[in-house]
Chain A
Amino acid sequence: MADKDELNQLWCGQTTGPPTKGEDMLTMAMERAERFDRTIKARNLRECLGAALVTAIFAFIAWKSPNALARAGDLMVAASGLWIVFFMLRYGREAPSPAADGSLADFQQALLRKYDHQIRLLNSVKYWYLLPPYVGLLLGSAGMVTANTAKGQPGWPQLIPMAIYTAVFGFIWWLNEAYGVGKLRRERARLLEEMKPAAGEAGGRG
């Protein structure tokens, strides 16, 4: 079995059924490419609108804040919305998808760099995504406690929203750093495993 001619014969005789017609495939390819572009545009738009909404809401809350501490916290959350979008647009897109028509070795290296970049980005989520609004919310809550105490009301009800946003932020942290990074690391390991034998055999035309 399996001399060169027989392998070729078996390979070329593959019975896969007739290929999809050119015009139909063109339509599908264009739809896929457009869907991809639309997804990217929709994601960017969502991020910007979300940031604008957070900024607008917390700027309004800051305006109505009872004291300077609460106002500082709310303004910090408002600024965080803009900061996060700036950070994502500036650093999040730093490692674009590798060009599909690069040599396989170059493509693999570019893909690895992309994985590394995404892993670094998700691992630092706590600093650039979670910390600024969280600190802002804590300050805002502290300001509310101060305001309530000054009016002779108990401050402990503020612990409830604090517990809720702490849990939400904790979940986002876990989602990014445990689940997200773990998934990317597994994919990266699979890529390395698949491509390992190519090391040290690169040619000059890549």
Chain B
Amino acid sequence: MERKAAFLRIYEQYAPALQRLAGAYAAAREDREDLVQEIAAALWRALPGYRAEASERTWLYRIAHNVAITAAVKQRKREKREVAPEPPLEIPSAGADAEQDLLAEEKRRMLFAAIRGLAAVDRQITVLHLEGLSGAEIEAVTGIAEGAVATRLTRIREKLRQAIRAREAGDGR
């Protein structure tokens, strides 16, 4: 009973973050949903072994990224799925707002595609950073020294910028 309550509490608190994380690994909606379920199953299995030595957040992110990287290594068709774009989202607002929303959505897609294009370690650091984890927390999750994380983040930002520019230029043609 306690395990169920702990699962529900953690999942409900982090569900949106897990969905975002899945978006950094899988482009197709069904793959993202499958990944979130896989992470949830790993969380359920790992719960009895959780000791409060590590923060709950870093513990969960370890599980989530480890499950995601295992799935990514096994998923042969990832590149193929990557090129299949999702249908545009329906945005209820109208006029200038709608246009802005569409632009933001387009940029968001480019950002996620650019993150998916990063090497796994860079992708993990980026996701953790964007989720608001500190350098020390990122070190606790990845095992990469805090100083190296900071250096890497500067390089990743530049890579993302270039990748997004390249995508924007590609779309403009």
Contacts and interface: CB of A to CB of B under 8 A. Distances in A.
Interface of A: 1-2, 4, 7-8, 10-16, 19-20, 22-23, 25-26, 28-30, 32-33, 36, 98-108, 111, 187, 190-191, 193-198, 201-206
Contact of A204 (B111, B121, B145): B145
Given A25-B11, A100-B66, A101-B50, A195 B120 contact: yes
A205 B157 contact: no
A12 to B, nearest CB: 8
B104 interface: yes
A22 B12 contact: yes
A15 B32 CA distance: 13
Which 7 pairs between the two chains have the least Cβ-Cβ distance? A206-B143, A105-B143, A203-B145, A19-B15, A32-B41, A103-B143, A194-B120
A190 B73 contact: yes
Contacts of A36: 41
20 contacts: A10-B104, A15-B89, A15-B105, A16-B20, A25-B15, A26-B44, A28-B41, A32-B38, A33-B45, A36-B41, A104-B62, A104-B141, A104-B143, A104-B144, A107-B69, A194-B120, A197-B119, A201-B145, A201-B148, A206-B143
Which size class do B's interface residues fall under? 35 or more
B111 A7 contact: yes
B146 to A, nearest CB: 6
Nearest to B130: A11
Interface string B126-164: 000011100010011111111010001000010011001
B111 A10 contact: yes
Given A1-B164, A2-B164, A25 B42 contact: no
Interface of B: 4, 7-8, 11-12, 15-16, 18-20, 23, 32-33, 36-38, 40-46, 49-50, 54, 59, 62-63, 65-67, 69-70, 72-74, 89, 104-105, 107-108, 111-112, 119-122, 124, 130-132, 136, 139-146, 148, 152, 157, 160-161, 164-165, 168
Contacts of B111: 2, 7, 10-11
Given A100-B67, A101-B50, A195-B120, A29 B143 contact: no
Given A15-B89, A104-B142, A107-B62, 5 more contacts: A22-B12, A32-B40, A101-B50, A101-B63, A103-B142
Nearest to B140: A205
Nearest to B32: A16
Contact of B108 (A14, A28, A104, A111): A14
Q: Considering residues A19, A98, A101, which has the most beta carbons from chain B within 10 angstroms of its beta carbon? A: A101
Contacts of A28: 37, 40-41
A100 B143 contact: no
Nearest to A104: B142
A19 B143 contact: no
